[in-house]
Amino acid sequence: MPDNIYSSYRSMSKHIALLKKQNTQLINEMKMVLYSTFPELMRYCKQGMPAWVLDVLKKYPSPAAIEKLKVEQLSKIKNVTHDKALSIINKAKNSTTSRNNSVQEFLIKSLAKQIADKQELIDEHKNYLADNCKGAEVDLIDTIPGIASYSAAAIMIEIESIHRFATPSHLASYFGLHPVMKESGDKQFAYRMSKKGRSGMRALLYMCAQTSVLHDEHLKNIYHRHRSKGKKSQTGNWRNYAQNAAYDMGRTHQYTALQCNNR
């Protein structure tokens, strides 16, 4: 497959990034509204906005609406267990916020629907990209633990051609994963990730790295080695991901931990 095939999908990749940004804005707005209307529900939204929370809010957008429910009614919603339903109803009954606000209820319903629709649209675009952006390089990247079809396609769209990079380190630098010396306020110096590359790609690699440490012993060892040195981030894993991609595509064979150990 010619290298420029991947660049033809760049507009799709940028559109997905735009949809994600819009969804993040909607989620942030929803959290601000919930903070003033039903703050007790915020404990379930620490990492995004779960689909079941959106389903609850689309039907019952206020503590006043939820406190009237029976546990059996609320637990009919997917992924809402009996215990979770009981806890939410009790929180609604004990909520200290205003009991009746039709404007806020309308806004919460609207936001919940918009977030759910936007997430569905994002998934639709990601599935299209995963199904159509194909190539030997994508297949090779897909063999790295933690990287699935969409992630492999998105990485290759950013890289376009591995021949653009002389070494794996050049590729890591392109993504802003290379370490640089940084000075803190108290004049202490330390190596930190430069973050000068593409932020969207770092976010993608972060999620892949989170998965990799659960399923690949070699990458898990890298993670624990960095943690033992007091590092809180997964910088080592991120950098290793970029180098693995370059190594695999440059030599056209699949990822294995043994290959990494020999580098």
Asked if residue 56 is part of any domain, the answer here is: yes
Report the chain's mean pLDDT, rounded to a whole number: 81
**Residues 115, 147 within the same domain:** no
Asked if residue 101 is part of any domain, the answer here is: yes
**Residues 14, 113 within the same domain:** yes
Rounded mean pLDDT of 196-215? 78
Asked if residue 4 is part of any domain, the answer here is: no
Lowest mean pLDDT among 86-95, 144-153, 157-166, 211-220: 211-220
Confidence class for position 263, pLDDT limits 50, 70, 90: very low
pLDDT, residue 258, reads 43
pLDDT at 232 over 80: no
Asked if residue 232 is part of any domain, the answer here is: yes
- Residue bearing the bigger pLDDT, 253 or 42: 42
State in Å, rounded, how far the first CA of the chain is from the last one. Answer: 28
Instruction: Write out pLDDT tens, residues 40-68.
Output: 999 999 888 999 999 999 999 999 999 99
Rounded mean pLDDT of 71-97? 93
Asked if residue 55 is part of any domain, the answer here is: yes
Q: How far apart are CA 95 and CA 211, in angstroms?
A: 37
Q: Within 10 Å of residue 5's Cβ, how many Cβ atoms?
A: 15
Cα distances (Å, whole numbers) of residue 129 to 137, 152, 204: 15, 10, 15
Q: Hey, which residues does 167 pair with through a beta bridge?
A: none
**Residues 138, 257 within the same domain:** yes
Rg of the chain over all Cα atoms, to the nearest angstrom = 23
Pair 12, 129: CB distance under 8 Å: yes
pLDDT, residue 52, reads 96
**Residues 119, 230 within the same domain:** no
CATH value at residue 104: 1.10.287.4070
Q: Which residue range is the domain that position 191 belongs to?
A: 134-261
Rounded mean pLDDT of 16-22? 94
Lowest mean pLDDT among 120-129, 142-151, 185-194, 232-241: 232-241
Token readout for 183 is 């000075």
Domain stop point among 87, 112, 130: 130
Q: How far apart are CA 257 and CA 146, in angstroms?
A: 13
Pair 67, 40: CB distance under 8 Å: no
Domain stop point among 130, 165, 199: 130
**Residues 148, 48 within the same domain:** no
**Residues 124, 144 within the same domain:** no
pLDDT, residue 75, reads 95
**Residues 105, 17 within the same domain:** yes
pLDDT, residue 257, reads 52
Domain stop point among 111, 130, 149: 130
Token readout for 250 is 């440059």
**Residues 145, 116 within the same domain:** no
Instruction: Write out pLDDT tens, residues 104-143.
Output: 999 999 999 999 999 999 999 999 999 999 888 888 888 8
Pair 229, 155: CB distance under 8 Å: no
**Residues 99, 164 within the same domain:** no
- Written in H, E and C, the secondary structure of 2-25 is CCHHHHCCHHHHHHHHHHHHHHHH
**Residues 21, 126 within the same domain:** yes
**Residues 121, 173 within the same domain:** no
Give the chain's domain count: 2
pLDDT at 86 over 60: yes
Q: How far apart are CA 56 and CA 85, in angstroms?
A: 10
Asked if residue 5 is part of any domain, the answer here is: no
- β 189-193/179-183 pair status: antiparallel
Q: How far is CA 147 from the centre of its chain?
A: 12
pLDDT, residue 115, reads 97
The string of DSSP letters for 169-198 reads HHHHHHTT-SEEEEE-TTS-EEEEE---S-
Pair 172, 196: CB distance under 8 Å: no
Lowest mean pLDDT among 10-14, 190-194, 222-226: 190-194
Q: Hey, which residues does 147 pair with through a beta bridge?
A: none
**Residues 122, 147 within the same domain:** no
Q: Hey, which residues does 152 pair with through a beta bridge?
A: none
6 by Cβ neighbours in 10 Å (0-12 / 13-18 / 19+) ranks as: buried
pLDDT at 230 over 80: no
Ranked by mean pLDDT, which of 40-44, 164-168, 246-250 comes out on top? 40-44
Asked if residue 1 is part of any domain, the answer here is: no
Asked if residue 3 is part of any domain, the answer here is: no
